[in-house]
Amino acid sequence: MQVFLVRHAIAYERSRVRWPNDALRPLTPAGKEKFRKAARGLSKWLPERAALLTSPYVRARETAALLAEAWRGKPIECAELAADQPVAEGFKLLRTRKEKAVVLVGHEPWLSRFLAAALGGPDATLKIDFKKGGAAFIGFASRVEPGRATLCWMLPPRVLRALR
């Protein structure tokens, strides 16, 4: 299975006054504009047929919608990708999918923890700098299990925006 990880684009700073529920915090206008450009670059690297799965949080849903505009498809909300979920839920979610390729749009530190577990096993503690609006591509040759993935590439948003 091919798995593309995408961190949500630049969102407003946390504010208990504006967003008492952090799940409702949206992308900034600048975050939307920068990710539109990154999504155009990223879309060239994504397979034609892949599921686009997103965290239910507003900022992730908005990021997935921008990616869908540049690429194709319709984002599917998955509670397993919410910021507060255990990484094991992500592996369970992937094992339920029939597609050969899946795009996951989510949050930090969940994405880095998932990537570390996918590459190094359930107890791996790798330091990963996953930029907002950045993406990574991992492949599972056989079973979707911790420690079974190969890192194919990881790109920051500035590189995605430069892709033509």
Residue 73 banded pLDDT, cuts 50, 70, 90:
confident
Q: Provide the 10 A C-beta neighbour count for residue 87.
A: 20
**In which residue are the tokens 């609006």 written?**
133
The angle, 0 to 180 degrees and rounded to 10, between the axes of the packed helices 58-70 and 29-43 is 40
Q: Is residue 57 predicted with pLDDT exceeding 90?
A: yes
In order of 55, 99, 124, 131, the CA distances from 108 in angstroms are 12, 25, 16, 9
Q: Is residue 164 predicted with pLDDT exceeding 80?
A: no
Residue 142 to residue 139: CA distance in whole angstroms: 9
β-pairing, 2-7 with 135-140? antiparallel
104-131 residue pLDDT tens: 999 999 999 999 999 999 999 899 999 9
Residue 99 to residue 96: CA distance in whole angstroms: 9
Tokens, residue 5: 């990880």
Distance of CA 73 to the CA centre of its chain: 15
Q: How many helices (H) and strands (E) does the chain have?
A: 5, 6
Residue 48 banded pLDDT, cuts 50, 70, 90:
confident
The pLDDT of residue 2: 98
Go through the domains of the chain in sequence order and give each one's CATH number. Answer: 2-162 (3.40.50.1240)
Q: Yes or no: say if 65 and 17 are a contact pair by the CB < 8 Å rule.
A: no
